Structure 1
Amino acid sequence: MAKNTTSKTLKFLLWVSFLAAFAARGAAALPGNAHLLVAPGTLTENSVTVLWDKQPGAGKAVYELALNGKAVATTSKTNYTFSQLAPATAYAIQLRVKPENAGAARDFGTLKFKTAAKGKVYNVLDYGAKNDTAVVNTKAIQAAINACAAGGTVLIPKGTFVSGALFLKSNMTLRIEGMLKGSRAPDDYLPMILNRFEGWELTTYASLLNAGTLNRNGYTVSNLRITGGGTISGGGRRLGDAMTKAHGLRSRGRLICLLSCEDVSISHLTVTEPPCWTIHYIYSHNISCHDLAIVTKGIHNGDGIDPDSSTDSYIFNCTFDTGDDCIAIKSGKNPEGFAIGKPTRNVRITDCDFLRGHGISIGSEMSGGVSDVLVQDCKAGALLHGMQIKGTKDRGGYVRNVTVTDCQLRQITIFSAVNYNNDGAPAPEVPTFEQFVFRNIDLSEAAATEPAININGFKDPAHRLRNVTFSHILLPENAKVVINDAEQVKFTDVKAGSGAKPAYSVANSADILY
């Protein structure tokens, strides 16, 4: 065990005691405190998706759902979609929880809502769109979108419909049952628009699907759904390379880009072949991304989902197979991101499967701050950096209040330096990384060649990584744990299946308890 000072140790133990007391109080009060809510953007004329908090200490709980008093389903997840509802009708959902080996189910919350009124369907075929890969349908599909009245649905039916940039609006649904295929011609994504990429506001090509305009002080599109069970396939690397050749690497559009939007749901789709990032939302609020298959193998900067200076994100039931970060939580870069100061807050990532990619990431552009992130009930394959929090000393801002629980991962990393995307002037202060909880995590398949846990703060003594707990972590045999530039870090029940503890390497750190 590393040596420590008495005063700092006492402060740390008091902090841990507070967390334990808070968790115990939360568990006792939880029935009736489930925070049952409608996932943003998911309430339609015939369906709704609901979310709730997991019961602490309940093990593999079973949740029972009833609709207007009639039992409908059970699930072990913390989300459920009700379908085949009647339009413009009031409903009440009752939720009960049956903890693992804990007897009868208990009431866990009630939620009342009313479905939307039935809206008109605007089939793009009626506006001249052709199921023909030789035809670019941008004008026809945009005409259907422009004609769509509030509460209506623009339908892309079975077949393949090629298009350039499309601009969605408030109070509509884009339902893709076939394939929306992005053109590979950069001119089909003009005019250039004000956007943000890699932390800076700049002009880029438009994306295949666009909503809103960049506005730091308000929302420009609301109540939007993109769904349908089909596929959105962009112009891929060929389009990205052509955009780069014309206007530079940072000029590329995305596959789906939300600018200053609120109450948006993107669901039940396969999304693939972006020119760079796949789903990117900036200065937005109440965004749901769920039941998506995101595939970007071979794409340069092929991130899956990037919440950027946005609040209240719900990402669940998604599968990622990406050429870069599966999820990258961002908030701007260096002086500009620090000055704008729009943090990303309240990100909930649950029940996702991360097959391949660079990581489940926070950063590296996090200069506006990131806080209150939950990663829960997720499974990750051989990601390059596993679950990672990353930045550089030049970023400024903070990452705090991150909880990772009940997951199967292969690596946990906290990096204070990256060897890319670090151009430009520094922010006026060094970032702060603090208050992270890693609990009930299976790291047993971690590679033996690298540390299973590798956590690093900043060299500045005032900006060490601090207040971090690891508890109930299953490691492989002969595992390594690296801690640099940190303080107040505690490891409890961190061991291999045989009971063997890992080899700890600790440098320039204090109050490290293991």
Structure 2
Amino acid sequence: MKRFFCVVILSYLLFTVSAAPSNPYNLFIAPGTLSETSVVLLWDKQYAKEAVVYELLLNGKLQGTTTKTNYTIKGLKPGASYTVSLQLKGAKQTASSPLKFKTAAKGRVYNILDFGAKSDSSFINTKHIQKAIDACTVGGTVYIPKGNFVSGALFLKSNMTLYIAEGATLQGSIDTTDYLPLIKNRFEGWEMDTYASLINAGTLNRDGSYNVKNLRITGGGTIKGGGKKLELACKAARGIRSRGRLVLLMNCRDVSIDNLTLTEPPCWTLHYVYSDNISCHGLTIKTHGIHNGDGIDPDSSTDSYIFNCIFDTGDDCIAIKSGKNPEGYYVGKPTTNVRITDCDFKRGHGISIGSEMSGGVSAVLVQDCKAGALLHGLQIKGTKDRGGYVKNVTVENCQLLKITIFSAVNYNNDGEAAPVLPVFENFVFKHIDLSQANVKEPVININGFNHPAHKLKNVLFTNIVLPENGKVLINDADQVRFEGVKMVGGGKPVYEVKNSAGISY
């Protein structure tokens, strides 16, 4: 399911928008979300002079309205066929092309209590929950009821739902032996053996195949890892890179992770690698105080949809990755088509692309998001050793506190260099509110690579609001345009340009 995001493609001095598709709404079902009784719909943002309100029509009747570019329809009948369409409220405009779908047939429910699980902080439920997972038939649901269930590593499979009910907590053990045997994984750009994660799906390989499909993790409850205690235990036993994740997907396809609180991982929270068609929505991710406590890490994966999520993290809120240095470059699996919309970033290091981007990153859309006290704001980062590329990134209609592009991060620089220098190009930032930024440092800080053939190039900033005395810093860049970039009071910000050409403001 390759989705076309209306990405702005830039070409030296000419900045143009890709041609609109014949169906401008591009209405589609979010991967992994079509269940027995519900479905989540996504579409492309529409623009008008006044605020846009979307109307959803189910079988020709008004289902509901929203100002977002996503909508969840609930209360459907299992195994039933439906037709849905979308239109703008009050506009004399043709509705979207009708989208037809059929809900899943009603599946069997496997309550973990029936397999010997206990809500008891001293009881390890790993084998009991795993028995329920292993017994689950196609289309079935493993149900975790209200209570606190301690477990070690669990391994999910295709065509199932893990349902953690509201008031239920799947609690990760703090004993490293509960996460053995070690599994092949990828961390900070390298493939390596690590402890298993609390929730695992798939096994790692580079051949492009998918070994877990049609999986959903949902329910309204909480997945809580072993946190700091497990983090320290893993480091002491096998080193800093041995830690698993809270949720790990490898070579998976058509997965939805939604309506959950994810907290206290020993490392990254939700990591998917070599995977395709992943929906992450309605998540509240809390990892403040956790070392490497990233929120969501799409890694050499395609077609990601991250929306309606809240982040309060101890590291990057979202970090888009694709491997590191020669290994990532030769594996050559890019991350492409990532859409991040309607998210609230409260605390963390940043909404980040990189620093591991050696397999390439392209077609990223960040839209209608709000970012609070992020250390680096919206950031694109790498080093000259990475190889690969970051290109075709659009950030629009967001409230941010900083925009940064780094070409020499001072961490995670082990290993030999890739055989080529990386490329940063074709970025668009439009309709961005930076008015609350700290003016003690540059509000927009752009740094390309200090090499004539690999300077950052083709960047457009349009309709940006900076605070009074806001500063813009540009290093090692070619063809960067600023249009309608003003301070709150209407004046131009201070521009500092070094070793760059084709800069207009």
| TM-score > 0.5 by shorter chain | yes
Tell me, yes or no, if structure 1 residue 347 matches structure 2 residue 338.
yes
Q: CA deviation at 1:110?
A: 2.0
1:143 equivalent in structure 2: 131
Check 1:405–1:59 CA distance in 2 against 1; reply closer, same or farther (3 A cut).
farther
Q: CA deviation at 1:57?
A: 4.6
Contact 1:347 1:372 in 2 (8 A): yes
- Between the aligned partners of 1:445 and 1:303, the Cα distance in structure 2 is 24
Q: How does 1:94-173 map to 2 (within 5 A)?
A: 94-98=85-89, 103-104=91-92, 106-173=94-161
Tell me, yes or no, if structure 1 residue 402 matches structure 2 residue 389.
no
Q: CA deviation at 1:107?
A: 1.2
**Which 5+ residue runs of structure 2 have no aligned equivalent?**
1-9
Contact 1:164 1:189 in 2 (8 A): yes
1:394 match: secondary structure: coil
Which stretch shows the higher mean deviation, 52-61 or 443-452? 52-61
1:465 equivalent in structure 2: 456
Q: Which amino acid aligns with 1:174?
A: L
Q: CA deviation at 1:12?
A: 3.3
2:38 equivalent in structure 1: 47
Q: CA deviation at 1:56?
A: 3.7
- Between the aligned partners of 1:297 and 1:11, the Cα distance in structure 2 is 41
Q: CA deviation at 1:103?
A: 4.4
Q: CA deviation at 1:94?
A: 1.2
Contact 1:66 1:95 in 2 (8 A): yes
Contact 1:97 1:108 in 2 (8 A): no
Q: CA deviation at 1:11?
A: 7.0
TM-score using structure 2 length: 0.96
- Between the aligned partners of 2:88 and 2:242, the Cα distance in structure 1 is 49
Q: CA deviation at 1:237?
A: 1.2
Q: CA deviation at 1:306?
A: 0.0
- Between the aligned partners of 2:122 and 2:183, the Cα distance in structure 1 is 27
Tell me, yes or no, if structure 1 residue 184 matches structure 2 residue 174.
yes
2:355 equivalent in structure 1: 364
2:199 equivalent in structure 1: 209
Q: Per-residue CA shift, 1:164-191, capped at 9, x if unaligned?
A: 0000000000000111000000000000
1:6 equivalent in structure 2: none
Number of matched residues? 493
Contact 1:33 1:109 in 2 (8 A): no
1:478 equivalent in structure 2: 469
2:374 match: secondary structure: coil
Check 1:396–1:59 CA distance in 2 against 1; reply closer, same or farther (3 A cut).
farther
Check 1:179–1:208 CA distance in 2 against 1; reply closer, same or farther (3 A cut).
same
- Between the aligned partners of 2:331 and 2:366, the Cα distance in structure 1 is 27
- Between the aligned partners of 2:56 and 2:76, the Cα distance in structure 1 is 15
- Between the aligned partners of 2:50 and 2:240, the Cα distance in structure 1 is 47
Contact 2:11 2:458 in 1 (8 A): no
2:441 equivalent in structure 1: 450
**Which 5+ residue runs of structure 1 have no aligned equivalent?**
1-9
- Between the aligned partners of 1:33 and 1:498, the Cα distance in structure 2 is 36
Tell me, yes or no, if structure 1 residue 174 matches structure 2 residue 162.
yes
Q: Which amino acid aligns with 1:215?
A: N
- Between the aligned partners of 1:211 and 1:363, the Cα distance in structure 2 is 24
How many percent of aligned residue pairs carry the same amino acid? 68
Contact 1:277 1:301 in 2 (8 A): yes
Q: How does 1:34-433 map to 2 (within 5 A)?
A: 34-57=25-48, 60-98=51-89, 103-104=91-92, 106-177=94-165, 178-217=168-207, 218-433=209-424
Contact 1:226 1:267 in 2 (8 A): yes
1:300 match: secondary structure: coil
Q: Which amino acid aligns with 1:125?
A: L
Q: Which amino acid aligns with 1:200?
A: W
Q: CA deviation at 1:104?
A: 4.1
Q: Per-residue CA shift, 1:427-453, capped at 9, x if unaligned?
A: 011110000000000000010111110
RMSD: 1.3
2:174 match: secondary structure: coil
